Amino acid sequence: MIVVAGGSSARFGDDKMMAMIAGKPLVVHTLEAVASVVDRCVLVCRSDQIEALGRLALDADLVPGGSTRTTSEMAGLAALGGRADLIGIHDGARPLVPVRLIETLFEVAARTGGAVPVLDPDAPVISRKTLRLVDGVGVVQTPQVFAGGALTAAYVQAAQADYEGQDTADVVMSFSDIEIAAVAGDPGNVKVTYPGDVEAVRSRIEARSHIGPA
């Protein structure tokens, strides 16, 4: 699993990945949520985070990311070296991802070549171009899991085309013929984007861990 945590946290206003929750940085909770399910973890983070994260003896290889989401994902794939049959890419800001969802995604991707978790949108979606309601639209979460060889090949082509994808599935759909299956997402698999999101995540992690605020 590649955990991507190298963003600027611009909408958060501070380094959300290092926000302390139950005595640990947020991104450590994310790593712990996935590490027990997969054979190997690669954490793609900012260069200025590596020293602090390195002192935590994490069960992950630390890799400096790029200036964009896609280049950071490429850095994670390079660290894996193309030796994995299945590779998942997960957002470091989703620390509540359920183990069962991860397992299901890997099981489905093993059969189809790719699997992404999808939820129904909370509100109607309107096209910017036509200003009309769009039917059949889903909200995509992470992790997103794909056949390792095809995923790596797609990112090589994306790099050659200087293509910046919206997410992993976007790159895969643009540069491969992998069949991607939609798996039912989990409403609890929330992404921390704004400061208020941390408090929502904090309450659930502390309740689960029976740990009071640090």
Please report the pLDDT score of residue 9 as a whole number: 52
Return left, alpha or beta for 105; rule: phi > 0 is left, psi -120 to 50 is alpha, else beta.
alpha
pTM: 0.90
DSSP annotation of 87 reads E
Per-residue pLDDT of the chain (214 residues; tens, 9 = 90+): 999 997 655 555 467 888 899 899 999 999 999 998 999 999 999 898 899 999 998 989 999 998 899 999 999 999 998 779 999 999 999 999 999 999 999 999 999 999 999 998 776 667 677 666 777 778 999 999 999 999 999 999 999 999 999 999 999 999 999 999 999 999 999 999 888 888 889 889 988 766 444 4
- The 3-state DSSP class for residue 57 equals coil
Return the residue matching tokens 């409403």. Answer: 187
Nearest alpha carbon to residue 32 among 208, 212, 200: 208
Domains of the chain and any CATH numbers: 2-209 (3.90.550.10)
User: How far is residue 72's CA from residue 44's CA, in Å, rounded to a whole number?
Assistant: 7
Q: DSSP characters for 33-55?
A: HHHTTSS--EEEE-HHHHHHHHT
Please report the pLDDT score of residue 187 as a whole number: 94
Please report the pLDDT score of residue 200 as a whole number: 86
Phi, psi of 127 (to 5 degrees): -65, 130
Please report the pLDDT score of residue 57 as a whole number: 85
Q: DSSP characters for 136-192?
A: T--EE-S-EEEEHHHHHHHHHHHHHTT---SSHHHHHHHH---EEEEEE--TT----
Return left, alpha or beta for 162; rule: phi > 0 is left, psi -120 to 50 is alpha, else beta.
left
